[in-house]
Amino acid sequence: MSAAPVLRVEHLTMRFGGLAAVSDLSFNARKREITALIGPNGAGKTTLFNCITGFYKPTVGRLLLTHADGNTFLLERLPEFRIAKDARVARTFQNVRLFAGMTVLENLIVAQHNKLMAASGFTVLGLFGSRSYARSEAGAIDKARYWLDRVGLTDRADDPAGALPYGAQRRLEIARAMCTDPVLLCLDEPAAGLNNRESAELNGFLRATRDEHGISILLIEHDMGVVMEISDRIVVLDYGIKIADGVPSEVRNDPSVIAAYLGVSEEEALTPQAKQM
């Protein structure tokens, strides 16, 4: 497995007024690896995701994304739709955000908007029913069919996304993100609300997706079972500060991580800054 980083987070700080949700955070997410971000509630994980995907502009810091062909992108300088379109970072949301009133298939077609938009000659050719656009649309449906098959939703293709059960909605959101051909896939609590069987399936699916499509995954998760099982590396945040970074076995036994999760008595408590050393 190559160890080159796909995403370098360098000295990232995000302040909201006086509150530093993320402060001076640096870590690398490596190519073709699953990097998990964990930490107690309010540790700044989702804030970090919002910085990476452009929904927030970081106060300080650099986010460097490198494609396989060597192209680099400074994500903090791009508007959010360019991050998805050009830098090819896809994301899902903590509270599922599907196009509820559109069918499952339509959700996956919308995800291929930019490719289809170009194929439709920015609407002009498509309006007059060009053959090349019809071909591209058929291709988009094929791709949607592939991902529906992968997440087991082929039977529900023509149902409205809002009518799916919760677990299926989560899977559909991941499939929709994959339809954008991402280099980096950011998943915000993909296993939340899933039962044991479903989260085991999710683990298998994420691993297979990483291996077969050569993508890197950044994952926020509270379910330690999922995290320890599928992550190649784990970054632990607490109060916006990185307190540990390593392979699962290292992180599991790190005293500062245990302290952050279980709490410590006042005497042995060190300030998080001191722990970071």
CB of 144 to other proteins, least distance (A): 8
The one segment of 2-10, 106-114, 244-252, 269-277 that binds other proteins by CB under 8 A: 106-114
100 sits near other proteins (criterion: CB under 8 A): yes
Q: 114 vs 276, which CB is nearer to other proteins? A: 114
Q: Which C-beta is closer to other proteins: that of 92 or that of 256? A: 92
Q: Please select the residue that binds other proteins; options are 6, 37, 75, 90, rule is CB under 8 A.
A: 90
Burial class (CB in 10 A: 0-12, 13-18, 19+), 65: buried
Does 117 sit near other proteins (CB under 8 A)? Answer: yes
The piece of 33-41, 68-76, 89-97, 234-242 that touches other proteins (CB under 8 A) is 89-97
Element (H, E) at 185: strand 184-188
* Residue 260 interacts with other proteins (CB under 8 A): yes or no: no
Please count the other Cβ atoms lying within 10 Å of the Cβ belonging to residue 137.
16
Minimum CB–partner distance for residue 71 and other proteins (Å): 16
Q: Does 157 bind other proteins (CB under 8 A)?
A: yes
Cα–Cα distance for residue pair 23/241, rounded to 1 Å: 6
Q: How far is the CB of 123 from other proteins (least distance, A)?
A: 5
> Closest separation between CB of residue 214 and other proteins, Å?
20
Query: Using the rule CB under 8 A, is 26 a contact of other proteins?
Result: no
Q: Where are the alpha helices (DSSP H) in the chain?
A: 45-52, 80-85, 104-110, 113-119, 124-127, 131-151, 166-178, 196-213, 224-230, 248-252, 255-262, 272-276
User: For residues 218 and 34, what is the distance between their CA atoms, to the nearest angstrom?
Assistant: 6
- 112 burial level (CB within 10 Å; 0-12, 13-18, 19+): buried
Q: Does 55 bind other proteins (CB under 8 A)?
A: yes
Non-local (6+) Cβ contacts of 136 within 8 A are 115, 116, 119, 120
CB of 116 to other proteins, least distance (A): 4
Question: Could you tell me the two tokens for 224?
Answer: 């330690």
Q: How far is the CB of 135 from other proteins (least distance, A)?
A: 14
The residue among 114, 98, 99, 97 whose CA lies nearest residue 181 is 114
- Which residue ranges make up the site for other proteins (CB under 8 A)? 53-55, 80-85, 90-91, 93, 95, 97-103, 105-106, 109-111, 113-114, 116-117, 120, 123, 126-127, 133, 137, 141, 145, 157-160, 162-163, 176-177, 180
